[in-house]
C-alpha cells in the first residue's frame, strides 16, 4: 500500500457542466482527510500529509475492513442542516470527536489494488459497495452523487444554503493535482442589508458595517470591504456622510474604534457565500447601494 497520496483538487468555475459525462456532489465545508486503513493500523492524513489519527480515531474506527483501503473524504460538523466550518474549528481545537462526521467520496486503493487509473464512477461504485458490504455507519457516511444538469443542482444548493457543488468527469482517473477532471462551483446568495457604519479611507470607504432587521431589533451582520471601484467608493462615502449618527443604531452595540456610525437609511446589496454560526456574513462582496 502506498504512503500519502497527494489529493486531487478541483478547478473553480462559474457554471456547472451538464450531461451524462459528469456526476455532481455536494461541496462540503470541512477538512479534507485521506484515511489509510490496514488492519489495526489507521492513519488520517491531512491534505499536507500530516497524520491526525488521534483527532479522528473514532471516524477511522467506523471502518472494520478485512483488507487494506485508502479513502478520500471530508471531516465535517453539521449545523442547521448543512456542513459548517465555523462549527468544526472549535471541535478540533478542543479535541472533541462526538460531532464529527466523515463524508467519503473516493476510493484510491482496495485489497492490494491501486484504483487511481480506474474511472471516477467505477471508484465510487466500489466505495458504495464497501459501505454496504461491511455495514459502515456514522460517523462515516457515503457521499452520494447525481448525474445530469449541474446547473440545476447548484441552484438547489443555493436554496439550501450549501457552499456549492463538485462536478466530476465520469470516466476520469484520479490525478494528484488541480485539474479539470473535478470542477467546483460555489453557490452564491444575495441579500440587502442596512448599512450601520463605515470605515473611512482618504477618498471613500474602506469597509461597510452591515445589520439585519429581526423584528424590532437591528443586529450586526459583519462587514464588507470588496466589490467597489475608487469612483464607487467615493460615491458611497458622499451618501453615507449625509446620515452620520453620533452612535451606533444596533440593538446591541459593538466596539469598532474605526467606525463612523450612520442611520440605517441606506441598504447594501450584498453577494455572499454563507452565514457563519456567529451570524456573520462569509465571503461577502458589495454589489450596490440603495435607499430604504
Asked whether residue 280 is domain-assigned, the answer is yes
Q: Are residues 34 and 112 both part of a single domain?
A: yes
Claim to verify: residue 49 and residue 75 sit in the same structural domain: yes
Which pLDDT score, from 0 to 100, does residue 87 have?
84
In a domain, 14, yes or no: yes
**CB-based contacts of 167-170 (< 8 A; 24+ apart in sequence):** 167/13, 167/16, 167/17, 167/22, 167/23, 167/24, 168/22, 168/23, 168/24, 168/25, 168/120, 169/21, 169/22, 169/120, 170/20, 170/21, 170/22, 170/23, 170/119, 170/120, 170/121
pLDDT value, residue 108: 98
Give residue 167's pLDDT.
95
If asked whether residues 36 and 118 sit together in one domain, one would say: yes
User: Is the same domain home to 20 and 155?
Assistant: yes
Per-residue pLDDT of the chain (292 residues; tens, 9 = 90+): 999 999 999 999 888 998 899 999 999 989 999 999 999 999 999 999 999 999 999 999 999 999 999 999 999 999 878 888 878 888 998 999 999 999 999 999 999 999 999 999 999 999 999 999 999 999 999 999 988 888 888 888 877 778 899 999 999 999 999 999 999 998 877 789 999 999 999 989 999 999 999 999 999 999 999 999 899 999 999 999 999 999 999 999 899 999 999 999 999 999 887 787 788 998 899 989 998 7
> Could you tell me if residue 3 is inside a domain?
no
136/33 same-domain check? yes
* 117: CATH: 3.30.470.30
- The pLDDT value given to residue 160: 79
Are 117 and 57 contained in the same domain?
yes
For residue 221, how many other CB atoms are within 10 A of its CB? 22
Q: Are residues 102 and 18 in the same domain?
A: no
Structural domains counted in the chain: 3
Do 18 and 154 share a domain, yes or no?
yes
Boundary residue ending a domain (142, 175, 205): 142
In a domain, 47, yes or no: yes
Closest by CA position to 31, among listed 69, 70, 77, 71: 77
Q: Identify whether 2 is part of a domain.
A: no
pLDDT for the residue 129:
97
pLDDT number for residue 74:
97
Q: Domain of residue 103: give its range.
A: 29-142
> What CATH number has the domain bearing residue 263?
2.40.50.140
Note whether residue 259 is domain-resident. yes
Query: What is the model's pLDDT at position 212?
Result: 94
Amino acid at each position: 500500500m502506498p504512503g500519502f497520496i497527494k489529493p486531487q483538487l478541483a478547478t473553480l468555475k462559474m457554471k456547472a457542466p451538464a450531461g451524462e459525462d459528469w456526476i455532481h456532489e455536494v461541496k462540503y465545508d470541512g477538512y479534507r482527510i485521506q484515511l489509510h486503513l490496514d488492519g489495526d493500523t489507521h492513519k488520517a492524513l491531512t491534505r499536507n500529509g500530516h497524520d491526525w489519527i488521534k483527532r479522528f480515531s473514532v471516524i477511522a474506527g467506523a471502518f472494520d475492513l478485512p483488507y487494506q483501503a485508502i479513502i478520500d473524504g471530508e471531516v465535517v460538523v453539521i449545523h442547521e442542516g448543512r456542513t459548517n466550518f465555523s462549527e468544526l474549528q472549535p471541535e478540533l481545537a478542543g479535541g472533541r470527536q462526538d460531532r464529527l462526521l466523515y463524508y467519503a467520496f473516493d476510493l484510491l486503493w482496495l485489497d492490494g489494488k491501486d484504483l487511481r487509473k480506474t474511472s471516477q464512477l467505477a471508484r465510487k461504485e466500489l466505495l458504495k459497495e464497501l459501505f454496504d458490504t461491511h455495514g459502515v455507519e456514522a460517523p462515516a457516511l457515503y457521499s452520494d452523487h447525481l448525474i445530469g444538469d449541474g446547473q440545476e443542482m447548484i441552484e438547489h444548493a443555493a436554496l439550501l444554503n450549501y457552499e456549492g457543488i463538485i462536478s466530476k468527469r465520469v470516466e476520469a482517473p484520479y490525478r494528484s493535482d488541480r485539474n479539470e477532471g473535478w470542477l467546483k462551483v460555489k453557490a452564491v446568495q444575495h441579500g440587502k442589508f442596512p448599512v450601520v457604519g463605515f470605515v473611512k479611507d482618504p477618498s471613500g470607504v474602506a469597509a461597510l458595517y452591515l445589520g439585519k432587521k429581526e423584528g424590532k431589533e437591528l443586529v450586526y451582520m459583519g462587514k464588507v470591504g470588496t466589490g467597489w471601484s475608487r469612483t464607487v467608493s467615493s460615491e458611497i462615502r458622499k451618501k453615507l456622510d449625509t446620515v452620520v449618527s453620533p452612535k451606533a443604531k444596533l440593538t446591541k452595540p459593538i466596539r469598532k474604534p474605526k467606525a463612523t456610525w450612520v442611520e440605517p437609511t441606506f441598504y447594501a446589496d450584498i453577494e455572499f457565500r454563507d452565514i457563519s454560526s456567529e451570524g456573520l456574513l462569509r465571503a461577502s462582496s458589495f454589489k450596490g447601494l440603495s435607499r430604504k
